[in-house]
Amino acid sequence: MSSQPLRGSLTTPRIVFLVVAAAAPLAAMVGTVPLAFAIGNGAGVPATFVLAGLALLCFSVGYAAMSRKIVNTGGFYTYLARGLGKPPAVAGGLVAVIAYNALTVGLVGAFGYFVQLIASDYGVNLPWYLFAGIGLALLAFFGYRQIDLSARVLSVVMLAEIGILTVLAIAIVAQRGAAAFPLTTFDPKTFLAPGLGVALMFALISYVGFESAALYGEESRNPTRSVPRATYASISVITVFYALISWVAVGAIGVAGVTETATSQQGELFFTLSGDFLGQAATVMMQILLCTSLFGSTLALHNGANRYMYVLGRERVLPQWLSGVHHSRGVPHRASMAQVAITALIVAIFALAGLHPYTNLATSMLGLGTLGVVALQCAAAVSVLGFFRNRPDRHWWRTGLAPVLGLIGLGTAGVLLVQNFAIVTGTTSPIVNLLPWLLVIAAVAGVAYAWWMRANDPQRYHGLAETPARQQERETPLCPLWPEPALINGNQRYANHASSYDRSREGAQPGRRSHA
């Protein structure tokens, strides 16, 4: 099927807003940092954010190098196809669909819970699922509009939440002076204290969504420049901001008391700091911005989820109906509607079962989604090595050492997530803690389906993860570690098709060296 292309209207700043909003800085500070203080390495958390940022920057070097060569809404799906082969790509695509949908569902649950909690403080007592329903209605509205509208809304949300935390940091520094930046935080004895692994796990959870810049390649005006720049800018902004705000929080509380204080206050920690240093009015504003932060993150991840569904629908890995693009707005409106319907169904099931929106719905879905994204990041790091393996433009740092270092950091985080999944979800329920197996089942099913397609529909198999605009990188061979189907089963029809394609390429581009 020849699907209508997405509209290319995004600039680099707008992609940055979409990406940073997905990471939800205020929600990360309020919800994740106190946990890292309490059960991680305490005052060493700011240094842990720096370590996590460096690991993700290493990953981003190779990720950005691929994004300069590949323009496709498929994100991880396309990168895995070009670096590892099409069966791993189909597996990764299905894992991405589950992960991004799970993250969206979890954030809708968190949004409903926190809005209900804050509304009840002001005498508005309504069930959480009504507020979740309002959030879903807003998702449906923005998902049916041009991506520019989402980018503009998310830019306002992101600037507001960063603004309130910056004002809090300035107030703490004004009162504490140099004591707001305790050097003990970066002392190896503090940083390497027991709990570093758990703190690193929570730190990396706070970055989920930064990798989504590549999903907007087909919708950007200059994708080969915008996507790499947005990736670097996003990870740099997130790292500096997280490290700085958590460092100032340690200075406000005191190095000696940060673990005990965070353990007792947990999600109230930053609201308490706001009340102490800014006053009650600022605290109310922070509570409101927490809700908008959660919605902004939900909207950004909803956009990521529906673009994976759109691409896999376009490839007929998922129902082809999902590949519909709105005739005037140029957005994947059908995939957006499907994502909203999936979220509504899961939220309704949890609500009817009387389960808690945060401790049951949000934590389990966010844990599942985070694990899926980290697994995809590890696979993408390996795919960078495969993609540039035999290319003349490979580079010892950008396409070699940097992805390896990123893989080590992300692989460590993945192991920690699996080992501490019960801590992430906050429950010992065997049903919840078996959720990671859904990712394994999806990956196995994806490989099996790709094998079936290769044997029974080689022409469709050959078209998987191809650049719609048929740009140069459409011609890049897959990793030789995963041979082409003609070399595996001797399918003559496919061999003739591939052979004629190669001849036409050589005729169209005389004198160009083939990398095959």
Q: Using one digit for the tens of pLDDT, what is the confidence trace for 407-428?
A: 998 998 889 889 888 888 888 8
Q: Six-digit token pair at 10? A: 């995004």
Which residues are CB-neighbours of 352 under 8 A, at least 6 positions away?
none
What percent of the chain clears pLDDT 70, i.e. is strictly above it?
87
Task: Look at residue 215 and tell me whether its pLDDT is greater than 90.
Answer: no
CA distance 314 to 514: 28
More reliable by pLDDT, 156 or 17:
156
User: Model's pTM, two decimal places?
Assistant: 0.84
Q: Using 50, 70 and 90 to split pLDDT, how confident is the model at 492? A: very low
Lowest mean pLDDT, pick from 4-8, 126-130, 331-335: 4-8
In DSSP terms, 220 is beta-bridged to 10
Q: Using 50, 70 and 90 to split pLDDT, how confident is the model at 5? A: low
* CB 42 within 8 Å of CB 208: no
**Under CATH, to which class is 12-460 assigned?**
mainly alpha
In DSSP terms, 10 is beta-bridged to 220
What is the three-class DSSP state of 10? strand
CATH 1.20.1740.10 location in the chain: 12-460
Q: Using 50, 70 and 90 to split pLDDT, how confident is the model at 33? A: very high
Q: How many residues does the chain have?
A: 516
CA distance 151 to 248: 30
Task: Look at residue 485 and tell me whether its pLDDT is greater than 90.
Answer: no
The confidence score (pLDDT) of residue 6 equals 63
Which residue's entry shows tokens 């008391």? 257
The confidence score (pLDDT) of residue 476 equals 45
CA distance 316 to 305: 16
